[in-house]
Amino acid sequence: MTQPAYPQLETAFTRLYRYQHLAAIAGWDQAAMMPSKGNDARAAAMAELQVLMHHTLTDPALRGLFDAANSEALTPVQQASLREMRREWQNANLLPASLVEAKSLAGSRCEHAWRSQRKANDWQGFLQNFREVVKLSREEAQYLSDTTGVSRYDALMNLYEPGMNSAEVQRIFDDVKSWLPGLIRDTMQKQAGEQVLQAQGPFAIEAQRALGIEVMGVLGFDFDAGRLDVSVHPFCGGVAEDVRITTRYRDDDFVQSLMGIVHETGHARYEQGLPRELAHLPVGHARSMGIHESQSLSFEMQLGRNPAFLQLIAPLVKKHLGEQPAFDAANLGQLYSRVRPGYIRVDADELTYPAHVILRFEIERALIEGEIEAEDIPALWDEKMLAYLGVDTRGNYQNGCLQDIHWTDGSFGYFPSYTLGAMYAAQYFATIRQQYPDLDSRIATGDLAPVFDWLQSNIWQQASLWSTPELVRRATGESLNPAHFRAHLQARYLG
Amino acid sequence: MTQPAYPQLETAFTRLYRYQHLAAIAGWDQAAMMPSKGNDARAAAMAELQVLMHHTLTDPALRGLFDAANSEALTPVQQASLREMRREWQNANLLPASLVEAKSLAGSRCEHAWRSQRKANDWQGFLQNFREVVKLSREEAQYLSDTTGVSRYDALMNLYEPGMNSAEVQRIFDDVKSWLPGLIRDTMQKQAGEQVLQAQGPFAIEAQRALGIEVMGVLGFDFDAGRLDVSVHPFCGGVAEDVRITTRYRDDDFVQSLMGIVHETGHARYEQGLPRELAHLPVGHARSMGIHESQSLSFEMQLGRNPAFLQLIAPLVKKHLGEQPAFDAANLGQLYSRVRPGYIRVDADELTYPAHVILRFEIERALIEGEIEAEDIPALWDEKMLAYLGVDTRGNYQNGCLQDIHWTDGSFGYFPSYTLGAMYAAQYFATIRQQYPDLDSRIATGDLAPVFDWLQSNIWQQASLWSTPELVRRATGESLNPAHFRAHLQARYLG
């Protein structure tokens, strides 16, 4: 008697999930704990694990199992599970091993050289390596496009945001471009007349950490299922059962670090809230990069920078960092809503951030579709930064087109996730506010249950059961609608 | 043309070494970092990795390679390497994969539950998990015994101390039992008339940690290749390139924690001192558990409790914990040589420690040989503690048979290594003192090079190039001779 195929697929993907657990913990350790001389052995061990995971996903036996599982009687959850397993399997099997290896090598070389080239403002040097990364990324995109039938750029974007297409993104971003520059200008005019007190440091690292821990508690982080540590680049890592978030502290500024913790706590609660009984299968994992970002931005932007929330945590700031007028809730609100166009995406405020993303989306899309070449990037960058943010980046590659790590290893198609996430978050909160018209007064008194309960049942517990558009429709009753994002920004900055 | 077999074996064992790296880091994390709810997923991931390592070592292709490598022209180091690869391969091939996985799972479960059961003095609860661990360990022992022809317990002991047998251990321990109780009695009589000042706490954990870090520096620990953290049961983990030691702190006592750090630093320097060019092969790894313990006890007993060393670090103790008369070197010497029979092995002084080991050896040997059952342990424990140390442990499981981690995951056969290690260490220092008659005055002035240089060239750099008896003979000019241990104890405690 032949064994059914679906359970055999579950077994294979459960093994993969356990390998992914080890990769996640080793990766977290590398960033947060490992001393320098440990790196060579760690890199070799993690590369070996990557090879093993690739072998697991390219096992020739899987093809037959996927074919057979199609005609087996499956529950709706199993059908979704099969779809998600197939997606991971296809992504791993569409590309020839030689291309995967060549891109990995070219990406490592380009990224490694970039670390010093960025400091040296050396665009020409970067270009030598980057041309090869672009060439191989286009080849990758072509393979994916040939099979899936979508355009080359869309095929790459689908690796991060399955179901989204660039025509839709362009339509949404064109809408944003029609009102964002005016909103930025009006906000800056309004804020020009406001007095904002800067908090006076130094702020002891231990006190900042204790404050962060307490705010994570307010935000419902489960410390029996996760940790807070320190790394150079803050991230949310680990595994759903044991989420490891990191931050970095500066003793002359607590503002960035505290909101960074709120942001990563959003990622963390998504992971902690995923359905545990599906944790071992792709269908039980987070839906996409855009949805993940919608959780961190629900926490950071919708909740964290909300005046009602700042009213709630102002006493905690004073408790840990001492009394000073800058820590009054109203002033914290001003600190956390200050708008000022700048060079750097990761330092950007809520309002100017989308402009950084739209610029990158437009450039990388044209680059992958073959409409421009790598050497055309700086001129386009300068033009768009001036048009969208009024910032002059000519000759300043370091703080211009050399600032991000994403392109150095060929991660094209990732950038839109950031702003899609911000828009999803605004749409969720519009829905929550309809159900709870008194949301802000609840938040101010520490009753965050309306937010957590809604996210828990509508997003976290849904994992990857639905495509992104379907998930958003089921949660909010409509497709992604940028009007919510615009209304949120207008209310917060001009309201 | 056929490829030579030996390099193919090196490739397979290099892959294994990378998997072992992941297991070591995940294991360290589990003990030092992981929150409680992470344990189930971690246990499953580590069991999967054990299975993978087992598969790597049981690949049928290896048999042909081992056969072929026998007749290839190899350097002496390659011959030793082949011997050590073969030993690992044989140990792994004796056991069925299902048993390896079952034991790993049962061990993780039992160990995890033990962490709270010990606190609750819950022997009955522990027994529920522990019976399964014993059953699977006996099965393991039976498999090993069937092939190697030695008894079940000896087969397990050989995993930690290859070449040693329980008859020889019993002979040595019977010798110790013939003079140890008298030596303990005489020492206690001598010390009864001595005045010892107890240090007055509390001692801030951060200050204790800073003191530990500085003493690790004096002992040559490389902080670019390792870390100090906290765990319930102190250990030395991680990998040779990145050694992770742990300790635990009490704010009313710094004595145990500080010497625990010295102990683990001995393990760590062995790992850090292994030949890096052989790190990826079994021949480049530490020789055995007994030799490993001989390093930690060289540091803790021969060096750390030496009055000359305490003279060296007394100023550091005062620097971090504040001035008090109890921190004078002479008084520290008395604190660190105080003999008092007690419940806890890891808290035991140098003189009563062997009694704790002999008791465990006798119980675990009988347990594995099937002469007793798990439920018989408490009564035997009580009886032997009373006979060897005059200590009443009835009903006190927490500080009795539930105190050690070793049995929780089925590491039977390990305990003898501690006292064998103490004996090797005494023998090394007898040799070093012959070469450096002024050793103590050098140590007192901070010149620890004679000790480190001797260990580096005679033990650390030798890795697994020789069998344990050959290693000891080459280093000291004679076989293991317990007379050095007895002479050392008599000189220190009655001299």
Calculate helix-pair angle for B468-476, B289-297, nearest 10 degrees.
40
d(CA A380, CA B345) in angstroms, rounded, equals 71
Q: Do B34 and A226 touch (CB under 8 A)?
A: no
B347 — pLDDT class (breaks 50, 70, 90): confident
Q: Do B239 and A38 touch (CB under 8 A)?
A: yes
Looking at residue B341, what DSSP letter applies? -
Alpha-carbon span A167 to A171, nearest angstrom: 6
Domains of chain A (ranges, CATH numbers)? 5-149 (no CATH), 150-495 (1.10.1370.30)
Q: What is the pLDDT, as a whole number, of residue B495?
A: 85
Tell me which H or E stretch contains B314.
helix B307-321
Give burial (CB, 10 Å; 0-12/13-18/19+) of A296.
Answer: buried
For tokens 């901070």, name the residue.
B446
Determine which of A37, A213, A280, A281 to mutate to test the interface with B (most B C-beta atoms within 10 Å). A37
Stretch B273-294: mean pLDDT: 97
Residues A152-168: what's their mean pLDDT? 93
Give the residue from B181, B126, B114, B233 showing the smallest Cα distance to B358: B181
Contact by Cβ (8 Å): A335, A465: no
pLDDT for the residue numbered A189: 96
CA distance A219 to A455: 13
What pLDDT digit, counting tens, does each position of B115-140 carry? Answer: 999 999 999 999 999 999 999 999 99
Per-residue DSSP letters for B135-181? Answer: HHHHHHHHHHHHHH-S-HHHHHHHHHSTT--HHHHHHHHHHHHHHHH
Instruction: Report whether A144 contacts A94 (CB < 8 A).
Output: yes
Q: Which of the pair, B374 or B101, is modelled with greater confidence?
A: B374
Q: Which candidate from A35, A222, A242 shows the least CB-CB separation from B227?
A: A35
Please give, rounded to a whole number of angstroms, the shortest distance from the CA of B423 to a CA of chain A: 33
Q: How far is A20 from chain B (nearest CA, A)?
A: 9
Q: Mutation test of the interface with chain A: which of B16, B17, B33, choosing the one with the most A Cβ atoms within 10 A?
A: B33
Taking an 8 Å cut-off on Cβ atoms, the answer to whether B22 and A45 are in contact is yes
Please tell me the distance from the alpha carbon of residue B242 to that of residue A170, in angstroms, as a whole number.
48
Residue B271 pLDDT more than 90?
A: yes
Distance, C-alpha A260 to centroid of its chain: 13
Token pair listed for B78: 């390659």
- Rounded percentage of chain B residues whose pLDDT exceeds 90: 91
Q: How far is A161 from A318, CA to CA, in rounded Å?
A: 41
Nearest C-alpha of chain B: how many angstroms from A22? 7
Q: What is the pLDDT of residue B346?
A: 85
Q: Average the pLDDT over B413-430 and give the result.
A: 96
Contact in structure between A136 and A103 (CB atoms under 8 Å): yes
Model confidence pLDDT, tens digit, residues A61-104: 999 999 999 999 999 999 999 999 999 999 889 888 899 889 98
Task: For chain B, give the mean pLDDT.
Answer: 95
Q: What is the pLDDT of residues A239-283, one digit of tens each?
A: 999 999 999 999 999 999 999 999 999 999 999 999 999 999 999
d(CA B125, CA B110): 10
- Both tokens of A406, joined, read 């994403």
- Which pLDDT band, with edges at 50, 70 and 90, does A384 fall under? very high
B242 vs A38: CB contact, 8 Å cut-off? yes
> Confidence class of residue B1 from pLDDT cuts 50, 70 and 90?
low
Average pLDDT over residues A285-306: 97
Q: So what's the pLDDT on residue A1?
A: 54
Report the pLDDT averaged over residues B209-228.
98
CB of A103 closer than 8 Å to CB of A133? yes
Strands A242-247 and A226-230 come out as parallel
Mean pLDDT of B350-355: 96
Number of H helices, E strands in chain A: 20, 3
Which residues of B are identified as catalytic? 264
- pLDDT at residue A2 above 80? no
pLDDT for position B122: 97
Measured distance CA(A30)–CA(A238) in Å, rounded: 12
pLDDT of residue A162: 87
Which residues from chain B sit within 8 angstroms of residue A239, using beta carbons?
Answer: 38, 41
End-to-end CA distance of chain B: 69
Q: Which residues contact A313 (CB under 8 A, 6 or more apart)?
A: A215, A218
Q: Does the pTM exceed 0.95?
A: no
B56, closest residue in chain A (CA to CA): A52
Q: What are φ and ψ of residue A234, in 5° steps?
A: -60, 140
Q: What is the mean pLDDT of chain A?
A: 96
Run of H or E residues at A259: helix A255-273
Contact yes or no for B45 and A222 at CB 8 A = no
What mean pLDDT is predicted for residues B316-331? 97
**A227, two tokens:** 């940790």
| pLDDT higher than 80, residue B2 | no
Tell me the residue length of chain B.
495
| Nearest-angstrom CA–CA distance, A281 and A25 | 18
pLDDT at B484: 95
How much is the pLDDT for A354? Answer: 97
Tokens 């609860």 sit on residue: B125
User: What's residue B297's pLDDT?
Assistant: 97
Task: Report ipTM (2 d.p.).
Answer: 0.93
| Per-window interface: A 262-291 vs B, CB < 8 A | 279
Is the preceding omega at residue B202 within 30 degrees of 0, hence cis?
yes
Distance CA B138, CA B106 (A): 13
Report residue B422 as tokens.
């103490």
Burial of A395 (0-12, 13-18, 19+ CB in 10 A): exposed
